[in-house]
Chain A
């Protein structure tokens, strides 16, 4: 298993450009997440998905969009890039089978995409 893969690893954008960050997992996980990590900070949730066709906003969704047409793929779209979106972006996935509150399965992270907007 490759786990969670992300492309590209690095990207430089100009202000106002758009791009899509790709994320794929091969573990048949139902939950997928996008986080951003700013320097010296913890990760903040951008968007998440509980299954194909179902997505929802996290803490910092402005300026981003997502889709989940398959179980495996969860691309993150940046429209009209701004310097404030300079960050490292991590995709993660987990399997949650429901059940008792408080039982949470492990999230597996991709290697990240380092994005700079100039």
Chain B
């Protein structure tokens, strides 16, 4: 079945540092790929998405490129802020049927001033 693997956290960075959170997936067909963010005590919010190979999703300075050849969707940001501290989830949605999301285990990011 479908699966998503993320790098384990926590990831601790200083403000203005470069961020990369790795995500790889296993899926049949042509899944859509997502990054969701969860701030403390809140639900999940969509950060960005990509629906086909070589698409780049971007939002709030975050970017991720759908790489079918390496089955990856790594999240990057050039300069993190304290307000980016949260848990980040990589997820995929199958191309048919229920279209539910398969999530990775999440990566906690802590940004220090």
Residues of A that sit less than 8 Å from B by CB: 4, 31, 33, 35, 40-45, 48, 50, 56, 58, 90, 92, 94, 96, 101-104, 106-112
10 A-B pairs with least C-beta separation: A42-B103, A102-B30, A101-B95, A109-B43, A104-B32, A104-B93, A102-B95, A109-B44, A111-B43, A45-B100
Of the stretches B13-21, B45-53, B69-77, the one at the interface is B45-53
Q: How far is the CA of A103 from the CA of B52 in the complex (A)?
A: 8
Query: How far is the CB of A108 from the nearest CB of chain B, in Å?
Result: 8
Closest to A43 in B: B103
Residues of B that sit less than 8 Å from A by CB: 4, 29-32, 34, 36, 42-46, 49, 51-52, 89, 91, 93, 95-96, 98-101, 103-106
Do A102 and B98 touch (CB < 8 A)? no
Q: How far is the CA of A111 from the CA of B4 in the complex (A)?
A: 23
* Contacts beyond the supplied A43-B89, A92-B101, A110-B43: 20 A-B pairs with Cβ under 8 Å: A4-B43, A31-B99, A35-B101, A41-B105, A42-B89, A42-B103, A42-B104, A42-B106, A43-B44, A43-B103, A45-B98, A92-B44, A101-B30, A102-B29, A102-B30, A102-B31, A104-B99, A106-B49, A107-B46, A109-B36
Do A94 and B103 touch (CB < 8 A)? no
For B30, B91, B101, the residue with the greatest tally of chain A CB atoms inside 10 Å of its CB is B101
